[in-house]
Every structure is written in C-alpha cells, then in structure tokens.
Chains A and B, each alone.
Chain A
C-alpha cells in the first residue's frame, strides 16, 4: 500500500471529529473519499498531514507519519491541496509555485513550472499576476500546481470541484486523470458522486467521523442502500 491509515482520531478543541478512521490507497490508485457536508472528509485530510490534533497510524510508503510534523509529512512526498485553496494572494503565480518547490523524488513524477503550465494552460498566461487577482477556478488550478511542485508521490485533493463552473470541472477531471497517468496516487474528497465516478477506482464513505463503506466504484454503484443512507441529500 502507498498509504495505509488506521485508528485515526482527530479533535477540534474539545470536540472529537474522527473516530478510528481507516482507509488505504494503493500505488497509482485514485480513491474517492465521499460523504455529506460535515462528515469529516476535510478533517481526515488535515489529520493525515498533521494540521489538527490527532492520534492514530498513518503509514506512508511503510513509514509511520502518525505523529510527524506537517512539513516532514510533506517532505516525505505526501502532497496536500486544501479545500479553501489557501493561495498566497500577495505572491505571483510563479512565486506561489516557488514556495511549493522541493527536490525531485525517486519513484515520483517530477514537475517543473513549464510542465505545470502545460497541464494548466490558463496559468501560463498569468505568471506574474498576484494570486489574489485570479478567479476561483484559476486559484484551484494554482493550488494543485503548487502542491505538484513538491514532486509528491501521493496527493490529497480536498473537494477539487467545489464551487467551479461545469466547464472548469471538466478541465479539472482531465488534469486529475493526467496526474494519474503520470503514476501519482490520489485521495480525493468529493460531494459530487458523478465527478467521483469519472476519476476514481475505489470509494470510502464517511459519516459523522466514521467509515461506513469501503469498496470499488462498481460495488458502490450496485449498492443503492449505501448511496441512499450516506450520500443522498
């Protein structure tokens, strides 16, 4: 397994959000993390990269990162793209990419600004534009490109399609499939089941901080009860 998470618990202050979450991602695999608003998808990602108080096991390429610091986790090759995008608004597109830069990593695709500008053509036209003066879709692309600059072997993508126009969502799906072709493993949280089906091999469903389903997309497709109980609005 590329990433094997088990017994993951997390807290916001006194409130426990995650209860013994377990999930795994194989090499080159795309896994969708599904669930309604507030199910704990974003918190799972933050717990994996150490941005909230957490306990549990996070085995990444055989190393336990369950207690590691955020920067060490990123250095190990685990990239994180937050839902809120968190673009450095004062920095230009090129400078945003520079912040993400890390040395090439054996066993992971290597990215340079030029290759990323080919993957996200919109960005190449605005290299010197401050991040704060970009549209939501452009920011979403920049935040993915910025994480890829660290040459990760696995990327956590938090709600990449959220709040984007349908045309941009399509571009995003294309980009994600391109990342998969490069050999990246991906864990993607989604509320849009249609989008998830488009890109994922397997699915994990969270509800109120607990894993309720884990299986292939085909199995999820077949199981109407699961879809109705944990996904239907």
Chain B
C-alpha cells in the first residue's frame, strides 16, 4: 500500500514535465494548426542547454538561472525557426508544416550529437532538493515533490496569461478564427511567433527540469514526442486543462503499468488513447475541429487521367526502369528494388491522403504487417514466394480492416493521431511478442527461391508488382469509388446527402491502401531477407508522409516521384556522410520551402499558360 502511494507520487512528478511539453504543443496547435513534430527536439535542446549552463554557472542561483535561461534561449531558437521557416509555409497544405518540423527534428538530432557528443550526460542535482522526504515510511525525492507542485502552478499561470492579458485573449480568439482576428487589425505574424515561442519555452523548460531526474540523451526527443502526442490527443487538442488531466492519466498509467503488466506497458497507454478517441472523438476536453485552414477544393487542380503523351512518357520510363539490369550491378539493382517498393508504399498512402483527404500517421503498420505476414508464412509455414507475398498482403489488409474501423470514426488530426496509436500498438506487439516475432532480433533468413533469387529477377518482380499496384491505385482514383472518396473529402455532408456513407467509403479506402502497403512490406521482407519491428515503426510512417508531400499531395500519384527522390537521397546520404540526418533534415526543409506544392505539384504549376485551363493567378490564400 505504502509502496503504491510512492509510485503514485512518482507518476505525479512525471506528469508535470509531460504536461509542460504537452501544453506547449497544444497551444501551438490551437493557434497555428501546426502539429509541431519538432516539439520533442526543443524539449531535448532544453535539457542539453540546461546541462551546459548549469555545469558552467555555480551555486543555487547558477542552477535555477541556468534552467530558466536554457528555456528562454531555446524559445528564442524556436522563434527563429518560426520566422525563417514556418512563416513561409503557412499557406501550404496543412501537413507541410509537419514535414518542415520533422526536418527540423532530424537536424537537431545530429546537431546535438555534434555539439554535446553521443554519450548520455548526467547533470547536477537541484540545489535545495537533494534530500528525500519520508512519506508513509517510504523515501520520496524532494525534487519530485517540487515537480508535483510545479504542474498546477504552471497551469494556473497559463490560465492567467490567457484570461487576464490582451495577448492571451488574442490567442484564444485566433484559436477559433484567425481570419476574423486579422480582419480586426491584429497582425497574425507576431501573434504566431509569440505563441510558437511560448510553446517552445514550455517544452524546453520541461526538458531542462528533467536534468536532476534523468540523464540527457539524444534519443529523448522521439521518446517524449510520442507520449506528448498521446497526452494532447487524450486531453483534446488546444485545451491546456485537458493536457494536464491527460498528462496525469498517462504518467500514472506508465507508473503503474510497469508494476502490473510490464510486457504491455507500451500498449496500455495507446489502448487508453484509442478508447478515449472512440468514446470522445475530440479528446476529454476538446471541441470539434474548425474547418481546415486551406480550402482544399480551391487548391486541388482538376484531376485527369494521363494524356496520350504522358502515357508514352510513363511507358518509356517503365521500359528504362526495366532495362536497369542491363547496366547496373547487384547493389544498384537492390537499391532499385527498394525504391520500387517504396514507390508502391507511398502511392498507397497517397490514395488515402490525396483522394481521401485523410492523413495516416501510422501507415507503416500495414507495411510492417505485410513484412511479418510474408516472413511468418515463409519461415513457419514454409509457403512459396507468391503464397507468402499474398499472405503478407492479406495480413496487412486484415490489420487495416480492424484498425481502420476505429480510425474512420474520426477525422483530421484526430484521425492521424489514432492511426499513429494503432501503429504504435502494432509495433509494441511485434517488439514484445518474442515467441512469434523474435522481438528485437526479428525474423531472419527470408530469401526468395532460386528462380527469383538473382538480383535482376527479384528487381523485375518488385518493379512489376510495384508498377501494377500503382496502376491499380490510379484506376481506383478514377473509378466511381474514387469519385465517391473525393466527394467525401470535399464535403462529407453533401456526399452523405446523396447517399454516400462517409465511413464506409473511407474505411474501404483505408483497407485498400493498407493492402497495397502490405504488399510493399512483403516484398521488402524478401529484399532484405529479414524483418524487424522497425518495419512498422514511426520513422517509416513519417517517411511515407514525406514521400507523399514531396511528390505533391494535390496530385494523383506524385508520391512516386517523391518516393524515388527521397529514398534515393536517403540511401546515398547514408553511405556518404556521418551526419545523414543533418543533411536530410536540411534537404527536407529546403524542399518544403522551395516546393510548397510538392515537386510534381510545383512542376504542374510551371506548365505553359496555354496548356492550363482558365485559372486564377494563384490558389486561394489560405490561412
């Protein structure tokens, strides 16, 4: 019993810093509609900066001054990122900002290794809070009690800021209707910068305050960002009070989950999130999202099937790709097969994002299920290659059918977050169910039979299946079902009124997209000869988003171009530099700023005027 009380207090202490980070994310999202993926990076920077400052400055004043100065310094960095990067792309499709902040995350990861080294750093203990206090005969660190008190204090301060200052009132107004705030004479730019800096300050403060509790490491950014996403979604996006309650729930689930069911502690938090979202689709304290900032209907160019000339170009491209074995060695062929596989993966996600208007943050789950399905069929059941590929696709389709049934109940960012949660659950199962999946060690030795075993043969198989899959996805986009899907995207209400069921159509699209992703995953298992939990981890899902957005979310299959570019760059960067993340991150940032409509989308904009339909000078200004 006493032990449980202490565990409860540990949970409360953890909740405070989780709350700081989550409230920052929630405030930023509320006003700017940016899902700030870099929030974890700022949290980590806060911890590193606090380490450096508190090592340099002595005494209690030096310590506490260092913590606060670190948070302020990182907030200034955040403001700089907002002014130089995000400000340029507020008019781009919503997910573009996510992509940009993901690029920032990559850059920060490598920069922190360059600046602070790869080793974990252990900081100073907090002056005045080094002792433990005896509660019910158990020792509780007094610093934990300090953190427990800090959470509600910060919550109160934020409340005062939002209700007692003009800045706060403007922030709350802008959270609801930014255009109206502008029409009342408020310059949104500085409001956005201020809000972003405030959110980053809270994240960095959360990181800095972890210093006495935990070692500072360069993996803490991704660890916290997933938890914080969960907190923000359970609490309701944009709700600070909701973030506090949800932080308590998540931190206590972590604290007690470890005690009760260590094997499923990872799954537990995500399962709670899934339940909350199904019962209360906008989180505990959230309200339905306003309409998306961009009128997508105005942005999307009319889609049409390939013209005669374009068909010839595609055919020539395919023939050229098929001729690769004539010139390339086995390394190039394996790279080619990998790119083909990712083209299919990206194209399947694009069906959801472009035609469906719903962005899955967890599409890797179905890719990974395909990998595991094929690997298990081949290794455990001894099925031949075609049957194992089919088994992989079937497992992924089944997974998409199950998870999708829950996901399509939501929309917008909440949909994205729930897909992320399910992907994380799938990852946890693959990671922890060692008897079947091999856990972290994966499943090894999945090689194609001799007839498909040569690099050229496997390359052709991968190319044929990828090209066939992508063609099928295009056909679907232009089929009556595709029209229904786009109708639901453009106006769910009007589509329902003419007898199209939003959920049924989106669920079908989700299953189809999952199935094609799974086929790609099954091929990938054979290409690598092995399957690991990484195949369904978050970074791969993000890669998928990057490929679609790079290609152009307003296009039918621009993702193919995005996939070729991104995968080729990744493979090249991995082999030529130690700082691949830095280069890749910078590249993503540059591409996002240079091609706010994606590469293919931007190229379409360059068509000579006489080839364009009578069109407006530019798209609707979106804010």
Chain A residues within 8 Å of B, Cβ to Cβ: 11-16, 49-53, 55, 69-72, 74-75, 80, 82, 86, 88-91, 95-96, 98-102, 146-147, 149-150
Residues B173 and A88 in contact, CB atoms below 8 Å apart: yes
Question: Could you tell me the distance between the alpha carbons of A85 and B399 in the complex, rounded to whole angstroms?
Answer: 45
Binds A, one of B3-11, B178-186, B256-264: B178-186
| Segment 114-147 of B: residues with Cβ below 8 Å from A | none
Question: Could you tell me the distance between the alpha carbons of A15 and B166 in the complex, rounded to whole angstroms?
Answer: 39
Question: Could you tell me the distance between the alpha carbons of A69 and B617 in the complex, rounded to whole angstroms?
Answer: 17
Q: Give how many B residues have a beta carbon under 8 Å from the other chain's beta carbons.
A: 32
Given A13-B298, A13-B299, A90-B172, also A99-B184 (CB < 8 A) = yes
Residues A99 and B616 in contact, CB atoms below 8 Å apart: no
Give the residue name and chain of the B residue nearest to A51 (CB). B179
Residues A75 and B185 in contact, CB atoms below 8 Å apart: yes
Residues on A with C-beta less than 8 A from B297 are 13
Residues A11 and B620 in contact, CB atoms below 8 Å apart: yes
Give the residue name and chain of the A residue nearest to B179 (CB). A51
> 0/1 per residue, B528-563, Cβ < 8 Å to A?
000000000000000000000000000000000000
Give the residue name and chain of the A residue nearest to B613 (CB). A14
Residues on A with C-beta less than 8 A from B616 are 11, 13-16, 53
Contact of B184 among A16, A95, A100 (CB under 8 A): A100
Contact of B179 among A15, A70, A96, A98 (CB under 8 A): A70
Q: How far is the CB of A142 from chain B (nearest CB, A)?
A: 12
Question: Could you tell me the distance between the alpha carbons of A69 and B183 in the complex, rounded to whole angstroms?
Answer: 9
Residues on B with C-beta less than 8 A from A88 are 172-173, 176-177, 180
Residues A98 and B169 in contact, CB atoms below 8 Å apart: yes
Question: Could you tell me the distance between the alpha carbons of A49 and B182 in the complex, rounded to whole angstroms?
Answer: 10
Residues on B with C-beta less than 8 A from A82 are 180, 183
Residues on B with C-beta less than 8 A from A150 are 184-185
Residues A80 and B183 in contact, CB atoms below 8 Å apart: yes
16 pairs of residues in contact across A and B, judged by CB atoms under 8 Å: A14-B615, A51-B179, A53-B618, A53-B619, A53-B620, A71-B185, A71-B187, A74-B186, A82-B183, A86-B180, A90-B172, A91-B172, A99-B170, A147-B184, A150-B184, A150-B185
Residues B186 and A13 in contact, CB atoms below 8 Å apart: no
Residues on A with C-beta less than 8 A from B217 are none
Question: Could you tell me the distance between the alpha carbons of A193 and B186 in the complex, rounded to whole angstroms?
Answer: 34
Question: Could you tell me the distance between the alpha carbons of A11 and B297 in the complex, rounded to whole angstroms?
Answer: 13
Q: How far is the CB of B341 from chain A (nearest CB, A)?
A: 36
A71-B185, A99-B186 given. 16 additional CB < 8 A pairs? A12-B295, A13-B299, A14-B298, A14-B614, A51-B179, A52-B621, A53-B617, A71-B183, A71-B187, A80-B183, A82-B180, A88-B177, A90-B176, A99-B169, A99-B184, A147-B184
Residues A55 and B183 in contact, CB atoms below 8 Å apart: no
Question: Could you tell me the distance between the alpha carbons of A51 and B295 in the complex, rounded to whole angstroms?
Answer: 12
Q: How far is the CB of B283 from chain A (nearest CB, A)?
A: 16
| Segment 239-270 of B: residues with Cβ below 8 Å from A | none
Given A13-B298, A14-B613, also A71-B618 (CB < 8 A) = no
Chain B residues within 8 Å of A, Cβ to Cβ: 166, 169-170, 172-173, 175-177, 179-188, 295, 297-299, 302, 613-621
Instruction: Give the one of A15, A96, A99 with max B CB within 10 A.
Output: A99
Instruction: Give the one of B185, B613, B618 with max A CB within 10 A.
Output: B185
Q: How far is the CB of A88 from chain B (nearest CB, A)?
A: 5
Q: How far is the CB of A90 from chain B (nearest CB, A)?
A: 6
Given A86-B177, A88-B173, A99-B169, also A51-B183 (CB < 8 A) = yes
Residues on A with C-beta less than 8 A from B184 are 74, 99-100, 146-147, 149-150
Question: Could you tell me the distance between the alpha carbons of A90 and B180 in the complex, rounded to whole angstroms?
Answer: 14
Residues B617 and A102 in contact, CB atoms below 8 Å apart: no
Give the residue name and chain of the B residue nearest to A52 (CB). B620
Residues B185 and A102 in contact, CB atoms below 8 Å apart: yes
What are the 9 tightest A-B residue pairs by CB atom distance, in nearest-first order?
A: A13-B298, A74-B185, A11-B616, A70-B182, A86-B180, A99-B173, A88-B173, A71-B182, A75-B185
Residues A70 and B183 in contact, CB atoms below 8 Å apart: yes
Question: Could you tell me the distance between the alpha carbons of A96 and B544 in the complex, rounded to whole angstroms?
Answer: 42
Residues A13 and B180 in contact, CB atoms below 8 Å apart: no
Give the residue name and chain of the B residue nearest to A86 (CB). B180
Question: Could you tell me the distance between the alpha carbons of A82 and B182 in the complex, rounded to whole angstroms?
Answer: 12
Residues on A with C-beta less than 8 A from B179 are 51, 70
Residues on A with C-beta less than 8 A from B170 are 99
Residues on B with C-beta less than 8 A from A102 are 185
Residues on B with C-beta less than 8 A from A149 are 184
Q: How far is the CB of A62 from chain B (nearest CB, A)?
A: 19
Instruction: Give the one of A51, A52, A150 with max B CB within 10 A.
Output: A51
Q: How far is the CB of B407 from chain A (nearest CB, A)?
A: 28
Question: Could you tell me the distance between the alpha carbons of A160 and B180 in the complex, rounded to whole angstroms?
Answer: 17
Question: Could you tell me the distance between the alpha carbons of A15 and B619 in the complex, rounded to whole angstroms?
Answer: 10
Question: Could you tell me the distance between the alpha carbons of A210 and B184 in the complex, rounded to whole angstroms?
Answer: 28
Question: Could you tell me the distance between the alpha carbons of A109 and B295 in the complex, rounded to whole angstroms?
Answer: 37
Residues on B with C-beta less than 8 A from A101 are 166
Give the residue name and chain of the B residue nearest to A103 (CB). B185
Residues on A with C-beta less than 8 A from B172 are 88, 90-91, 95
Q: How far is the CB of A7 from chain B (nearest CB, A)?
A: 14
Q: How far is the CB of B98 from chain A (nearest CB, A)?
A: 23
Residues B182 and A69 in contact, CB atoms below 8 Å apart: yes
Residues on B with C-beta less than 8 A from A86 are 177, 180
Residues B187 and A53 in contact, CB atoms below 8 Å apart: no
Question: Could you tell me the distance between the alpha carbons of A37 and B233 in the complex, rounded to whole angstroms?
Answer: 41
Question: Could you tell me the distance between the alpha carbons of A86 and B617 in the complex, rounded to whole angstroms?
Answer: 28
Q: How far is the CB of A40 from chain B (nearest CB, A)?
A: 15
Residues A13 and B620 in contact, CB atoms below 8 Å apart: yes
Q: How far is the CB of B186 from chain A (nearest CB, A)?
A: 6
Question: Could you tell me the distance between the alpha carbons of A90 and B173 in the complex, rounded to whole angstroms?
Answer: 8
Residues on A with C-beta less than 8 A from B186 are 71, 74, 99
Give the residue name and chain of the A residue nearest to B163 (CB). A95
Residues B185 and A91 in contact, CB atoms below 8 Å apart: no
Question: Could you tell me the distance between the alpha carbons of A77 and B372 in the complex, rounded to whole angstroms?
Answer: 64
Give the residue name and chain of the A residue nearest to B297 (CB). A13
Residues on A with C-beta less than 8 A from B180 are 82, 86, 88
Question: Could you tell me the distance between the alpha carbons of A91 and B170 in the complex, rounded to whole angstroms?
Answer: 10
Question: Could you tell me the distance between the alpha carbons of A100 and B184 in the complex, rounded to whole angstroms?
Answer: 5
